[in-house]
Structure 1
Amino acid sequence: MSKGWESKSVEEQQNVAAMPKPVIKGNVSDDAEKKRRVQALAMQRERILSERTASPHRRSALSAALIDIEEKLSELGWTLHL
């Protein structure tokens, strides 16, 4: 009996998670999500900048990743603060 109950609970949780979330422009949750995304990208950028390597292939990959992250940040309105 407990197996059936657990599977129904899991199925219900999956259905709730699969439901589309309402998107409202200017919503506080949208602003918070944007802020979290900018923060995550900025942290990735800092990690890439802190890496040191002698491998030219690795440096090339890091450079490409840095360019991609900075493009995403600029799309979100982020600017470099010196």
Structure 2
Amino acid sequence: MKLYTPLSDEEATQAERGEYLSQSLFWVDRPDPGEATDDAIWVEIEVSASEAAQFERPFHEELGYREFELPSEVASRHRAVRITLPGER
């Protein structure tokens, strides 16, 4: 399954390199631009549904997306890719 999180430019570069980020991050199964700052860079990783399931958090079910709190050592095992959301340049 694909998971997404907004990062700063520096963090996005670290994630692309597979480097550990300093903290656990929240990842979602559907990016929501309203949940991030205007200068955020969205990145995507692909993880197995079974691996993601153990980190799922039910915080924003009413908003229509699932949320996962992945420890940095888990997220860094997956190649992060910068993405452009619809409507962005």
TM-score by length of 2: 0.19
Q: Normalized per residue, which structure has more strand?
A: 2
Larger Rg: 1
Q: Normalized per residue, which structure has more helix?
A: 1
